[in-house]
Amino acid sequence: MEMIKAFFKSKANMFVIKMLLLYVGWRFFHQLVLYGPLPVIWAWWHFTVGLGSFDARISGYILTLIGQHNTVSGIHIDFVHPERIWDMRVEEQCLAIPAMIIFTGAIAAFPGPVKSKLWFIPLGLFLIFCLNIFRIVLLSIIFVHYPMDTYTFYHKYVYVVITYTLIVLMTIFWIRKYGGRTGANPAV
């Protein structure tokens, strides 16, 4: 019994439990929006298509700036070459939503001044968003100019490692700079 009490008194253990609950909550929510009532599915679909279209427009603009001829229509980034047309789609899985939720949950779950969280969480979300745009641009170039094996490797592994490394580094920064401070004059 004492071991159980000691386990739940540990801040590190409670942080891990909160993160696991956040993950389970996200998976439950995601299943609801994918397979739940029609209005929920419809709202989620419109949200992800809107965000995917926004990401595609920004990525298409950057691709044009670096000399990659493309057209953007909704979530589609098309590359037209004499021999064929390549169609990249920025779908729900491409929007970094789980990464943003994990980052937000990590900062929100760790003790610290709310005032600092109110600027640090949006900053982190913006950095994850920028990294995701970079990912879409890089994957588009790889998709058009390199073999499918290279694209698959970058799509499945490289981005995941880079994104979650960024999240871990931002969380470590948060913990070292602000974590646990709850006094009247927290550092902001």
For the chain, the domains span 2-177
Q: What is the pLDDT of residues 25-69, one digit of tens each?
A: 988 998 988 888 888 889 999 999 999 999 999 999 999 999 999
18 close to 109: Cβ distance less than 8 angstroms: yes
Structure tokens at 153: 């490797």
Q: What is the pLDDT of residues 122-138, one digit of tens each?
A: 999 999 999 999 999 99
CA distances from 16 to 101, 105, 109, 130, 138 (A): 15, 11, 9, 27, 33
Query: Is residue 184 predicted with pLDDT exceeding 60?
Result: no
Sequential DSSP letters for 139-181: HHHHHHHS-HHHHHHIIIIIHHHHHHHHHHHHHHHHHHHTTT-
Q: How far is C-alpha 50 from the geometric centre of its chain's CA atoms? A: 16
Query: Is residue 187 predicted with pLDDT exceeding 60?
Result: no
Q: What is the pLDDT of residues 94-112, one digit of tens each?
A: 899 999 999 999 899 888 8
Which pTM does this prediction carry? 0.84
CA distances from 98 to 102, 112, 120, 165 (A): 6, 23, 18, 14
Structure tokens at 21: 């609950």
Lowest mean pLDDT, pick from 2-6, 67-71, 144-148: 2-6
